[in-house]
Amino acid sequence: MNSAEERLYCLAWQLLLPGQSRRVKELISFFGSAREAFLASPRHWASVVGERLAEALAGRRAKLDLKKEEERLRKLGVRYVTLAEPDYPALLREIDSPPVALFYLGEIRREERAVAIVGTRRPTRYGREVAESLASDLARFGVTVVSGLARGIDAAAHRGALSGGGRTLAVLGTGCDRCYPRENWRLWQEIEKKGALISEFPLGTEARPWHFPVRNRIIAGLVHAVIVVEAPEKSGALITADLALEYGREVLAVPGRVTTPQAKGSHLLLKQGAYLVEKAEDVLEVLGWEIIGAEEEEGLALNPEEEEVVSLLAAGFLSLEELVERGKMSVDACLSLLSMLELKGVVRPGGGGTYLLTRQGENLLRSRRRKGDPR
């Protein structure tokens, strides 16, 4: 079998039946290859998928111009990888019905330490901050963070991974030329530079309600574990968690406030046996991973003014105004110190204009307190 030819016919099937991997799998399995399935007659298709779909496929095939589609992808910088190629993500290949082709912007890898962070589109401030902090620390520990670029927890997870200097993958419910929601356009651009935007949907595909449950299987398929941060009882994040279990992946959840509806689904998962997560190290422990990429906190050099800011943030989230007041410094001086501490990986922005210590900053503080350093 010509591998380049099979790659092209895999692309053809992804264009003909996007989001319907099970049907594509049935056809390719029946005919033996993507090429033979594509070249078969509608009458033979009908024996596999029924007359109605076979007739629709015949019409789509007649209109399909593969060279034109490849040129459209090339002009937009969108690449694709197929099941016929060794570079297809290894974990995703393991699931029952992986997409026969994946479109992407950025860089995808065959193998990587990856976890998903998912949750509600309407999180509390607590949920947003936890998602961002957890993703940032995981990224610093060399873990790729995967999510769906939706509002709320998804966006917070992507932002956290980027602030931690790591990779993040966004699995889309649209084509790779459609940013949804539009408000995440700047985040989209950053993800393309420092990770990848991935879709099984052709160029030009707009967001549709059914696309998102379908794309959740890709999120679950790309990772070793799914972490749920704030999910109501009927959240799509719970679909992703169920798929993760089906694929033999670990499921973890962050506890929330018992009085908030956003925590109901997360607490249900915990009752059902999901691992409880409070910090990034909990995730590494569950998966048996060593910390890589983490800097040695104890030897980190901070000047006295930076030490003062770290000590102030030991109490938790503080706004710029609170830091200025408690530290008795000017706004400009405080902003300069915060910028340096961010570069050193000790402090990061929180939600609502606040600042907080990163995991590295917390470890630095604990280490010095263990040694009796009053700072």
- Tens-binned pLDDT, residue by residue, of the chain (375 aa): 568 899 999 999 999 999 999 999 999 999 999 999 999 999 999 999 999 999 999 999 999 999 999 999 999 999 999 999 999 999 999 999 899 999 999 999 999 999 999 999 999 999 999 999 999 999 989 999 999 999 999 999 999 999 988 999 999 999 999 999 999 999 999 999 999 999 999 999 999 989 999 999 999 999 999 999 999 998 989 999 999 999 999 999 999 988 999 999 999 999 999 999 999 999 999 999 987 654 444 456 788 899 999 999 987 889 999 999 999 999 999 998 998 888 888 898 876 778 988 877 877 777 666 555 544
- The predicted pLDDT at position 80 comes to 96
- The predicted pLDDT at position 2 comes to 66
Length of the chain as a residue count: 375
- The predicted pLDDT at position 342 comes to 86
- The predicted pLDDT at position 297 comes to 47
Check if the beta carbon of residue 128 is closer than 8 Å to that of residue 351. Answer: yes
Check if the beta carbon of residue 250 is closer than 8 Å to that of residue 224. Answer: yes
Instruction: Looking at the chain, list the stretches that DSSP marks H as alpha helix, in order from N- to C-terminal side.
Output: 3-16, 21-31, 34-39, 42-49, 51-63, 66-76, 90-93, 125-140, 153-163, 185-194, 211-221, 236-246, 264-271, 280-287, 304-313, 320-327, 331-343, 359-370
- The predicted pLDDT at position 372 comes to 56
What is the spatial distance between Cα 32 and Cα 332, in angstroms, rounded to a whole number?
A: 67
What pTM was estimated for this model as a whole?
Answer: 0.78
- The predicted pLDDT at position 316 comes to 82
What is the spatial distance between Cα 312 and Cα 335, in angstroms, rounded to a whole number?
A: 14
- The predicted pLDDT at position 295 comes to 46
Q: How far is CA 331 from CA 15, 113, 272, in A?
A: 55, 40, 48
Check if the beta carbon of residue 202 is closer than 8 Å to that of residue 18. Answer: yes
**CA count, 13 A, side-chain hemisphere, 234:** 0
Check if the beta carbon of residue 14 is closer than 8 Å to that of residue 29. Answer: no
- The predicted pLDDT at position 358 comes to 82
* CA angle centred on 210, ends 204 and 215, rounded to 5°: 75
CATH of span 114-287: 3.40.50.450
Q: How far is CA 151 from CA 121, 183, 197, 239, in A?
A: 5, 9, 16, 17
For 247, phi then psi, to 5°, come to -90, 5
Instruction: Name the DSSP letter for residue 201.
Output: S
- The predicted pLDDT at position 241 comes to 97
Check if the beta carbon of residue 201 is closer than 8 Å to that of residue 18. Answer: yes
The alpha carbon of residue 307 and the mean position of all alpha carbons in its chain are separated, in whole angstroms, by 34
* Strand 347-349 with 318-319, pairing: unpaired
* CA angle centred on 133, ends 127 and 138, rounded to 5°: 125
Instruction: Looking at 314-375, list the stretches that DSSP marks H as alpha helix, in order from N- to C-terminal side.
Output: 320-327, 331-343, 359-370
What is the spatial distance between Cα 291 and Cα 170, in angstroms, rounded to a whole number?
A: 23
Check if the beta carbon of residue 196 is closer than 8 Å to that of residue 105. Answer: yes
The correct answer on CATH 3.40.50.800 for the domain covering 304-370 is no
What is the spatial distance between Cα 63 and Cα 68, in angstroms, rounded to a whole number?
A: 11
